Each structure stands twice: as structure tokens, then as C-alpha cells.
Amino acid sequence: MFLASLAAAGAVTRPLLEESARREVLRDARLMMEAASAVRTYTIDHIAPHFAARADVFLPQSVPAFAATETINSLRREYPEYSYKEATLNPTNPRNRTADWEADVVNRFRQLPQQPEIVAERDALQGRALYIARPIQVNHPACMQCHGAPSAAPPAMLRIYGEANGFGWRQGEIVGAQIVSVPMDVPLRQARATFTTFMVSLSAVFAAFFVVLNLMLGWLILRPVRLLARSADRISTGDFSEKEFDERRADEIGILGGSFNRMRRSLEKAMQMIAMESRL
């Protein structure tokens, strides 16, 4: 029964732990996504305005996508399994250009502009990967200064990135997606570690309970029954020297012992009467 219960607990617990680990990884991915969004907002509101009026000065650090990517890359030193990318169909910075699967995600947002988030899995070179994506939409007027027409862009920016990419964006257009990706072996590894700890702990509890239960059964049940069996064997041969069973117990063994003692007395008296009649 213990082994069957252990197997049933394992069968039920493992998928629950895997789902719990997946939710935990998604929560961490969302925290990373919120951190990137906060950096983007701060850069747009507080950093970019200081450089907007100076066409002779351009710092990539004043670009929201660059600031968010660099900040999350610093964060990834503690969480190397996670990756973050501002995947853009027509980026100024070539490192932000979408891969094929990222382009599919961006196009899905363009087809369904009301969808705030996509959570899905995909096949990567390292195996299955879990990702969370949110659309990048041109909502701030400052974006159009650098991504509208090349003639309106800061000359310092054109010297760094050129005029071939990152222009022609339209207000309200979804141009890319923020994507946080993590390999599926991360939640599975967490689930396996938790599952192993749980099963070892449960096995230890079952083993301790099994030992204690056997000791209790041996001392409270089997030992008194063996005493009764030994007394019954001796009495069956006419040996009434065995002391009576202790009747102070309030359980079924005590009731059985009391009945056995009465039977023994009756049998002993009957044997005595037979012996007296035989002498007469």
C-alpha cells in the first residue's frame, strides 16, 4: 500500500510541479519584461528630451531599445538562461533585426493589434524554449524624429547607422516586439529538483511510519496473540500452570484475553471434576 501510494503521489505531483515551475519561470520573465519596459519609458521621458534639440550629438544610450537591451543584458549576468531582444522588422541597429520566428510574432501582433501579450513555446537549436512577447508600437512623437524620414533624423545618428534602415515608421504602427525567451529545461530542471526533494521526503516519512507501525503491531498485537497461542497450546495438553492473560487492556485483545481466561477456568474446573469422578 505504501509503494502504491508513493507511486500515485509521484504520478499526480510531477505534472503539478512542472506546471508550477513553468508559472514561476513566466513570472520571472514578466518581471524582466516589466524592467525593460520601465527602462524604455524612463529613457523616452527623461533621457531622450535632453538630446532632442542637439542634432550634432547622438548617443545610442538615449535610444529606448538600446537602453533597455543593455540594462537587461546586465541583469542577465545573474540570470544567464533568460534572453531579451527588441525584435524589430526595420531596425536602425542591425542587432535588433527579427529572426524568422520573431518576424512571425511581430506579424501576429500587427494582425491582432488588441492582443497585449503572447506566451508560447517553440523549437530552438538548444531544444524547446518558452517565450513571452509584447508589441512595440510607435506611440510617442519623439520616435518619429529618428524613425520618420531620414532627412529629419539627427545627422550624428545617420553617421553611426546610415540611412538604409530604421525609417518610414508610422504613428501607431506596430514595428516590433519585446521578447523574453528561456529554455524549457529551466522550468523542467526546477520541477525535477522539487520533485526529487518531495519524493525523498515522502519516502522517508513512509519508511519511518512503516517501521513505527510494524513495531506497534509487533508489541501491541502480535506479541499478545503469541502469548495467547502459547497458553492455548499448553492448556490443550492439560498444563494449567501458565498465568492468566492480563485483562486490563481496553481493546479487542483485552476482550479476547478475558474470554480466554474464562474459558481456561471453565476448562480447568471441568478437568478437576472429571478427575474427582474418576477417583470415586
> Are 131 and 87 contained in the same domain?
yes
Task: Give the cell for residue 64.
Answer: 529606448
> Are 135 and 214 contained in the same domain?
no
The predicted pLDDT at position 129 comes to 85
> Are 33 and 125 contained in the same domain?
yes
CATH number of the domain within which 269 lies: 1.10.8.500
**Residue 11: count of CB within 10 angstroms of its CB:** 9
Q: Mark which of 160, 183, 206 sits at the end of a domain.
A: 183
Domain count, the chain: 2
The sign of the torsion formed by the CA atoms of 268, 272, 277, 278 equals positive
Burial class of residue 94 in the structure, from the number of CB atoms within 10 Å of its CB (0-12 exposed, 13-18 middle, 19+ buried): exposed
**Residues 127, 118: Cα–Cα separation, whole Å:** 20
Does 14 fall in a domain?
yes
Assessment of whether the complete model's pTM goes beyond 0.85 = no
Does 220 fall in a domain?
yes
> Are 133 and 265 contained in the same domain?
no
> Are 154 and 245 contained in the same domain?
no
The predicted pLDDT at position 174 comes to 93
Task: Judge whether 242 and 234 are in contact, CB under 8 Å.
Answer: yes
**Residues 29, 83: Cα–Cα separation, whole Å:** 9
The predicted pLDDT at position 113 comes to 87
As a 3-state breakdown, the chain gives helix, strand, coil percent values, each rounded to 5, of: 65, 10, 25
The predicted pLDDT at position 52 comes to 65
The predicted pLDDT at position 106 comes to 94
HEC-encoded secondary structure of 221-279? HHHHHHHHHHHHHHHHCCCCCCCCCCCCCCCHHHHHHHHHHHHHHHHHHHHHHHHHHHH
The predicted pLDDT at position 256 comes to 79
Q: Which residues of 105-135 are buried (b: 16+ CB within 10 A; e: fewer)?
A: bbebbeeeeeeeebeeeeeeeeeebbbbbbb
pLDDT tens over the chain, length 280 residues: 888 888 888 888 888 888 888 888 888 888 889 999 999 889 888 887 776 666 566 777 788 888 999 998 888 888 888 889 999 999 988 889 999 999 999 999 999 989 999 999 888 877 788 899 999 998 877 777 778 888 877 787 888 888 888 888 888 899 999 999 988 888 888 888 888 898 899 899 989 988 998 898 888 788 888 887 888 887 777 777 777 776 677 777 777 778 877 887 888 788 778 777 777 6
Q: Mark which of 183, 202, 234 sits at the end of a domain.
A: 183
> Are 151 and 236 contained in the same domain?
no
Task: Give the cell for residue 231.
Answer: 497458553
Domain extent for 62: 2-183
Does 168 fall in a domain?
yes
> Are 29 and 157 contained in the same domain?
yes
The predicted pLDDT at position 118 comes to 93
> Are 166 and 202 contained in the same domain?
no
Phi/psi class of residue 74: alpha, beta or left (left: φ > 0; alpha: ψ in -120 to 50)?
Answer: alpha
Does 134 fall in a domain?
yes
